[in-house]
Chain A
Amino acid sequence: MNYNLKENHKLLTEFQYQPSKADKGYTNKSLYVNLSDNKIKEKEVTEMIKEKFIGGRGFGLWYLWNAVTPNTKWNDPENEIIISPGPVAGITQYPGSGKSLVVTLSPNTGTVVDSNVGGYFGPLLKFSGFDALEVQGKAENDVVVFIDGNKGIVTIEEAPEEAVDSHILAEQLTEIYSESEEDKKNISVVSAGTAAEHTTFGMLNFSFYDVRRKAVRLKQAGRGGIGTVLRDKKIKAVVVRFKGVKGDSNNPADFEKIAKTGVKLHKEICRLDDSQNRMRHNGTTFLAGIMNDYNLLPTENFRFGSHPDGKLLTAKEWIKYFDYNGKADGCWYGCTLGCAKVVCDFELTSGPYQGQKVVVDGPEYETIAAVGSNLGIFDKEYILEVNFYCDTYGIDTISFGTTTAFLMECYQNGIINKETTGGLELTFGNKEVALKLLHQMAKGEGFGKIAGLGIRKQKELFVKEYAADAEFLNDIGMECKGLEYAEYVSKESLVQQGGFGLANKGPQHDEAWLIFMDQVNNQLPTFEDKAEALHYFPMFRTWLGLVGMCKLVWNDIVPESNKDNEEPAKITEHVQNYVDLYNAVTGNNIDINGMLDQSEGVYQFQRVFNLRMGYGTREYDQVPYRSMGPVTLAEYQSLQEQYDAQLKELLGVEPEGKSSEEKMKLLRQYREGQYHKITDAVYERRGWTRNGIPTLETLKKFGMDFPELVEQVEKHQ
């Protein structure tokens, strides 16, 4: 059947090239594809680009800056999707070394967004001869872009017959473009799904073929609506094929160092994982129980941080579903931390694939919290079903969950009702309705169209159409910069409030996942510790996205030596591993400070990019009060003792005799003040003005004083 699908492809253009072999982690070429005029070309990756932007997210930002103007919108043809793996990506010896970074102008935020993802695409793209792929323009009809890295051919093909939903499409294309069953592992497909066409938070699936389970697996570049951009360009999929991955395909400068560092970590994981997070068994589900215990698990639109039924979502409940028997569960070769868990033969109970048995990738912690507890739902099979459908429909589980949670609170407050939702009773805990809403998003029908707009646009709409109280919606709508919040209750963690609010792309935890070290490990006790953490960790974590590495391997396994470290939160031994790997691949010779400098340059560039697109100032770093403290009486009362004690200790206010409303007001003033204070401190540490704009000196310091950037910041000085 799949061969017939291929017969119906219409070749629009074919480009032949001589694949460049990687040399010290770089091929020194990028691939540019324009779908409007079907032009394909190779570009040189210059020394300047490598020196200043390193790779991955840095390359994406550079190419996008050059592709768009301040007036470009996400759905303009000149917007690009850029995929880049980074120089270290593709090594096989160190766990977590296969990441791709994707950059585009976001339909959620209107400005630049980056999202990181596993799967084989990035490394196979590099070994096919390219450090980055830029896709610009829009096709007339649905197309597949195919890169054959062995033959040196890139094609744009109209592909009318294939499915749009990823679980079918990725399988069809894996079969079409592979030459045999054994060749399937050499294929990776990037695709979205039908809901990406009707929502603003479409995501990208990056596939890899699981040889053991004989199944196409999907990993997600979830945040920022990149799948929506993909479908707007009428791309069904981008496919790469490369056969011949070996342990030295990156042609590193110092293979010995990489091998030693990799084996050291494999041994560390073998020795310690069972007594630490048990990532090999649990994946990231281990977090659900901890978050519930520490009052950090988003429950009913972040109103609460815990629920008695939270125990139903802990790791031991999930491992019953996982197909795991010591098998390799990495999303790239050599990842022995193996968090890419999978549920096989899961029977669907709803939607277009009802009754079918499918493979579900995950669930990961964020999905459990987003589509489960945050909607007041603690049903594992429902969570698996939503996880599957979000993936195949091509939408982000985080934005789906946080948006639906907001809608449920709006419904419970009478802001929207059964009439406005077309009959959907959007009450917390209503799993049938959550699923219905998801299926409506895929069809672009009913209230699903409104739900797919995301929180920022819904707030405007509800104020305009239903005379809703704008202030209340701004307090409870968990978005910042237009991006929906990731799944941590940050009310009691000032540093995580900043981690979300001061992140360049919006409230996503990958830039500053500080909640655990703050609230669970208590490693950031003072204000100064918190302000410094909001400088160091975003820079360090950004760097992993420049070189193409996973953040989980940094801190989801901790070496024995760490307990004696003066700064245990940094896990310095692992940071040094990264420096060693980068030096060993590229032949450069940086230290930890050099690493942070590389990152900071790119970080400043991204901040100025936001400024250029009309954002990037202090007002866009403001966060909803729900992320800082109790908005409603019920929230205050749920932790009354704690809040009353804080009033006494921190504000010197005697709570006795004061009404809850008065106490809430005082607490709010204090917490908003604290947020401003930490914003000031972090801006200063980052070399920004009080309005959040990098100073000229800062740009110069990090070699980012390009005339175009200087022009942007000068406008605001």
Chain B
Amino acid sequence: MKKLIKNEELCTACGTCEQVCSETYFKEENREKASLRVEKEVDVVKLTTCSQCGECIELCPVEALYKDKNGVVRINKQECVGCFSCVGFCPEGAMFYHVEHIEPLKCIACGMCVKECPEGALSIEK
């Protein structure tokens, strides 16, 4: 199963991953549109990433969520009715939404953020 692996100990919360993600998919630097989140409170860094666990799949009322051949959970935007059930029930809190979009945003383990992370805090497991 292909998925993004995080190492919070190495992360400095520079935010590069969020910028790369939103730039890749929405052509703009806007962390609100990224499919992962990095937060820092005092000295504690929290990285929120999709584990591709697939808990969201059974929740979808129109079966718009599915696992592809690599085990990555994908959204069929054609079918998605934008109910955001998956956003509310994601055990990792890693299903996101942005008000400019009627479908949720999620990580598909593309690895773009991995390439740009200056600290090596992200990797792709295959």
* A interface residues with partner B (beta carbon < 8 Å): 92-93, 185, 211-212, 245-248, 255-256, 259-260, 262-263, 265-267, 269-270, 325-328, 330, 333-334, 336
Contacts and interface: CB of A to CB of B under 8 A. Distances in A.
A260 B88 CA distance: 10
Given A185-B62, A326-B58, A334 B87 contact: no
A246 B82 contact: yes
B92 interface: no
Contacts of B62: 185, 211, 333
B102 A325 contact: no
Nearest to B60: A328
Contact of B97 (A263, A265, A270, A327): A263
B87 A263 contact: yes
B77 to A, nearest CB: 10
Interface of B: 55, 58-63, 80-85, 87-89, 97, 99, 102-103
B81 A245 contact: yes
Q: Name the prevailing secondary structure of the A interface residues.
A: loop
Contacts of B80: 247
Nearest to B88: A266
A325 to B, nearest CB: 7
A211 B81 CA distance: 14
A357 to B, nearest CB: 23
Nearest to A210: B61
Nearest to A331: B61
B103 A247 contact: yes
Q: Name the prevailing secondary structure of the B interface residues.
A: loop
Contacts, number: 75
A360 B58 CA distance: 20
A263 B63 contact: no
Contacts of A269: 88
19 contacts: A185-B62, A211-B62, A245-B81, A247-B81, A247-B82, A248-B102, A255-B99, A259-B99, A260-B99, A263-B87, A263-B88, A266-B88, A266-B89, A267-B88, A327-B58, A334-B81, A334-B83, A334-B84, A334-B85
A333 B102 CA distance: 14
A265 B88 contact: yes
Nearest to A262: B84
A256 B99 contact: yes
B84 A328 contact: no
Given A92-B84, A263-B88, A266-B87, 13 more contacts: A93-B82, A185-B62, A246-B81, A247-B83, A247-B103, A248-B82, A260-B99, A262-B84, A262-B88, A263-B84, A263-B97, A325-B58, A336-B85
Given A247-B103, A334-B83, A259 B97 contact: yes
A500 B85 CA distance: 35
Contacts of B97: 259, 263
A261 B55 CA distance: 22
Contact of B59 (A255, A265, A328): A328
Contacts of B102: 246-248, 255
A262 B99 CA distance: 12
